[in-house]
C-alpha cells in the first residue's frame, strides 16, 4: 500500500480535509508527532512526506532540537527527488533545508484572505486558488530558495508558495482546514488571538463557517493535481 507520513507539531494542526481524500486515493496515513516521536525513524521510502504547521520558528532548533532531524530528513528527501509537501511551518522548514533564510516577518498575518498567483502559480496546481481565500496563520517568512519556482504572494508576505521541480511543494498558508476542525485552532491559539489586533475568536469562527468549505475544496484540487504530476503515484 502507498503511504503518506505527516509530521505533526501540534495535535490540532493535522491533515484536515486532506486525510480522507488521501485515504480514498489508497494511501495509508501515518502521523509522526515531532516533539515525541523518532523523526529519524521515518521510512525514507514513504511515498509522500507532508510536514505540517505549528507555532514555533523553523530557526528555533536551540529550543526544539527535533527541528534538526526534520531538516536532515527534508534534505535527504529533496536530494533524492522524493515527493514532499510543506504547509506553513513545513514550508518554512523546506525553505531552510534548501539553504534559504527563515526569519520573523513584519507582523502577524492571520485570517482568511486570497493570494496573488504568479504566472507559474496560475499554470500549475495552485490555479485552483485563483480568487479563493486561504487561511493565513504565521508571523515568520522566508527568502525564496535558490532554484525554486515562485508561485504565490500577498502584500504582507511576498513569498507565500514555491515549488522545486514537480516533487516539492511549499505552501506558507493553509488550505486543508475544515470549519469543524478549526474550532480546535481557536482553543489552541487562544493566547495569540487575544493579543493580535484586528482578529477575534468569533470573527475567525464566522469566517471559517463561510469560507472553509470553499478553501478546502480548492485545496483538495491542488493536492489532486500535485499528486497527479508526481512520478509513480
The domain segmentation of the chain, as residue ranges, is 2-228
pLDDT of 176: 98
Among 72, 75, 55, which Cα is nearest to 187's?
55
- Give, as one character, the DSSP assignment of residue 170: E
Distance between CA atoms of residues 78 and 17, nearest Å: 25
Given a contact cutoff of 8 angstroms between Cβ atoms, the answer to whether 127 and 172 are in contact is no
214-225 residues labelled b (16+ CB within 10 A) or e (exposed): ebbebbbbbbee
CATH, domain range 2-228: 3.40.50.880
In the prediction, which pLDDT does 35 show? 96
pTM for the structure as a whole: 0.97
Distance CA 121, CA 117 (A): 5
pLDDT score recorded for residue 233: 65
pLDDT tens-place values along the chain, 233 residues long:
899 999 999 999 999 999 999 999 999 999 999 999 999 999 888 999 999 999 999 999 999 999 999 999 999 999 999 999 999 999 999 999 999 999 999 999 999 999 999 999 999 999 999 999 999 999 999 999 999 999 999 999 999 999 999 999 999 999 999 999 999 999 999 999 999 999 999 999 999 999 999 999 999 999 999 999 998 76
Contact assessment for residue 52 and residue 7, using Cβ atoms and an 8 Å cutoff:
yes
Amino acid at each position: 500500500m502507498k503511504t503518506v507520513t505527516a509530521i505533526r507539531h501540534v495535535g490540532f494542526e493535522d491533515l484536515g480535509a486532506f486525510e480522507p481524500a488521501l485515504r480514498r486515493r489508497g494511501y495509508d496515513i501515518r502521523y509522526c508527532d515531532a516533539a515525541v516521536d523518532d523523526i529519524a525513524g521515518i521510512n525514507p521510502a514513504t511515498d509522500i512526506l507532508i510536514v505540517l504547521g505549528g507555532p514555533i520558528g523553523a530557526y528555533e532548533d536551540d529550543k526544539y532540537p527535533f527541528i534538526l532531524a526534520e531538516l536532515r530528513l527534508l534534505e535527504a528527501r529533496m536530494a533524492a527527488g522524493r515527493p514532499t509537501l510543506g504547509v506553513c511551518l513545513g514550508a518554512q522548514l523546506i525553505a531552510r533545508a534548501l539553504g534559504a533564510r527563515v526569519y520573523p516577518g513584519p507582523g502577524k498575518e492571520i485570517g482568511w484572505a486570497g493570494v496573488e498567483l504568479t504566472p507559474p502559480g496560475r499554470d500549475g496546481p495552485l490555479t485552483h486558488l485563483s480568487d479563493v481565500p486561504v487561511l493565513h496563520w504565521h508571523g515568520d517568512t522566508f527568502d525564496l530558495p535558490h532554484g525554486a519556482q515562485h508561485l504565490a504572494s500577498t502584500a504582507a508576505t511576498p513569498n507565500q508558495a514555491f515549488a522545486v521541480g514537480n516533487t516539492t511543494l511549499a505552501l506558507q498558508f493553509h488550505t486543508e482546514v475544515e470549519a469543524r476542525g478549526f474550532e480546535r485552532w481557536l482553543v489552541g491559539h487562544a493566547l495569540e488571538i487575544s493579543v493580535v489586533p484586528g482578529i477575534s475568536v468569533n470573527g475567525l469562527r464566522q469566517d471559517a463557517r463561510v469560507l472553509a468549505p470553499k478553501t478546502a475544496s480548492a485545496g483538495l484540487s491542488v493536492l489532486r493535481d500535485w499528486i497527479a504530476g508526481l512520478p509513480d503515484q
